[in-house]
Structure 1
Amino acid sequence: MSLLHLQLPDQLRLLLVDDHRLFLEGLALVLQPLSRAVHIDLADSAAAADQLRRQHDYDLILLDLRLPDRSGLQLLRDWQQAGNPTPAAVLSASESPADMQAALQAGALGFIAKSSDAQSLRSAISRLLLGECLPLPLPLAGNPPAGSLTPRQQEILLLLAEGLPNKSISRQLQLSEDTVKTHLKALFQHLGVHTRTACVSVARQRGLLG
């Protein structure tokens, strides 16, 4: 299910990371129509991306796998280890299933082909910005069948739909907050999302909330 019927925020800030400047500038033009006010920063190396990431909060980072000073995969892993919460996706010319799987394992929310046309690219990025994870043509990225939640996951999903924070959910179900977070992570993976709002929205679309 798609969340594209939802509205993107009026203001967005994106970071595009690629060592081909002409490609970066063209991509920035393609993404300008995403929202009324889109601020796009460009970085042509991992070091430049790191510096910009420390200076700004981004709604989404798009990066190539092959950068001159550090691979995109290593950059993703470094950000994950640093506890960086910024959503990031890979935009690459590679069509290798191994690269796609490695990107997902490194923390990417999706893998977008550089061969995508402008409309497909904006659609994929809109889905990411709305909280979805892009499906990959790999078993690792497949979603379990709808309705296969555990009873505990179903309980947490219902409380999440009521807008309760983790602390309240843990108190109501007599669980630790870490346990709640673990169940939430499993829910997000099951539904192919990476935000609480998207989790509830997709669960409603799939009939998991009645």
Structure 2
Amino acid sequence: MTALCTTLPDNLRLLLVDDHRIFLDGLSLALSPLSQNLQIHTAHSAAEAEQCLRQHDYDLILLDLRLPDDPGIELLQRWLVRGENTPVAILSASDSALEAQAALAAGALGFIPKSSDGNALRQAVTRVLLGETLPAPSSSSPLTPRQLEILQLLAEGLPNKAISRELGLAEDTVKTHLKALFETFAVHTRTACVSAARQRGWL
């Protein structure tokens, strides 16, 4: 193991929240060298994560953005409002700078792409455990965190109703944000909006 990880305590307890069980198995294996007595708990939904938090204290939570019952960012914000002080880093299949910025704006201490190799993953987790906030990839986007979230879901092809459900927003609120996005990119259609965002490197 690298010297970087020797500064961590021997006893660590992590909570990994992701609905893909095979990914969780691989993640647990990749993180196992972090400390001598590492305990890894897993949850496959927001509800399971909530139950784990009621039963245990954790040194770090690694949270997927896409959960079957609750968006990861909404879950994180709920924890912060409730006063949970466990550090949270976001895991995502997307390498999007916008998604990373939205996660950090919501209160995450780091954004770790699922495409990271084992060594990069361990280094990122170690830095968060040692109290660092991992910087988001650079982006010159002037969009708000909420607009970034909506833009990302727009790029995934979700209709307004699904976006409102995913983010816990009224459909009229989603439409208001979409109007602002269209004005920002000077476009009139959803496809053109996504295309313009990609051309600027914001997706």
What is the TM-score normalised by the length of structure 2? 0.65
Tell me, what secondary structure is at the counterpart of 1:32? helix
Give per-residue Cα distances to partners, 1:164-195, cap 9 Å, x unaligned: xxxxxxxxxxxxxxxxxxxxxxxxxxxxxxxx
Equivalent residue number for residue 122 of structure 2? 122
Q: Which amino acid aligns with 1:36?
A: Q
CA contact (8 A) 1:14 1:60 kept: yes
Tell me, what secondary structure is at the counterpart of 2:42? strand
CA contact (8 A) 1:6 1:130 kept: no
Q: Which amino acid aligns with 2:123?
A: S
Tell me, what secondary structure is at the counterpart of 1:89? strand
- Cα distance in structure 1, aligned partners of 2:75 and 2:138: 22
- Cα distance in structure 1, aligned partners of 2:116 and 2:5: 21
Corresponding position: 1:90 with 2:57: no
- Cα distance in structure 2, aligned partners of 1:54 and 1:122: 26
Could you list the runs of 4 or more consecutive aligned residues of structure 1 that deviate by over 3 angstroms after TM superposition? 3-6
Equivalent residue number for residue 191 of structure 1? none
Tell me, what secondary structure is at the counterpart of 2:67? coil
Q: Which amino acid aligns with 1:38?
A: L
CA contact (8 A) 1:90 1:112 kept: yes
Equivalent residue number for residue 109 of structure 1? 109
- Cα distance in structure 1, aligned partners of 2:97 and 2:124: 19
Tell me, what secondary structure is at the counterpart of 1:53? helix
Give per-residue Cα distances to partners, 1:39-68, cap 9 Å, x unaligned: 000000000001101111100000110000
Equivalent residue number for residue 68 of structure 2? 68
Cα drift, residue 138 of structure 1: 3.0
Residue correspondence of structure 1 range 17-56 to structure 2 within 5 A: 17-56=17-56
- Cα distance in structure 2, aligned partners of 1:10 and 1:52: 21
Corresponding position: 1:137 with 2:137: yes
The alpha-carbon distance between structure 1 residues 83 and 139, as it changes in their structure 2 partners (threshold 3 A), is: farther
Cα drift, residue 122 of structure 1: 0.4
Q: Which amino acid aligns with 1:21?
A: R
Cα drift, residue 107 of structure 1: 0.7
**Unmatched tracts of structure 1, length 5 or more:** 141-210
Cα drift, residue 25 of structure 1: 1.1
- RMSD between aligned alpha carbons? 1.7
Equivalent residue number for residue 57 of structure 2? 57
Cα drift, residue 139 of structure 1: 6.2
Tell me, what secondary structure is at the counterpart of 1:134? coil
Tell me, what secondary structure is at the counterpart of 2:15? strand
**Unmatched tracts of structure 2, length 5 or more:** 141-203
Corresponding position: 1:4 with 2:4: yes
Among the aligned pairs, what percent are the same residue? 62
Cα drift, residue 6 of structure 1: 6.2
The alpha-carbon distance between structure 1 residues 72 and 27, as it changes in their structure 2 partners (threshold 3 A), is: same
- Cα distance in structure 1, aligned partners of 2:122 and 2:10: 15
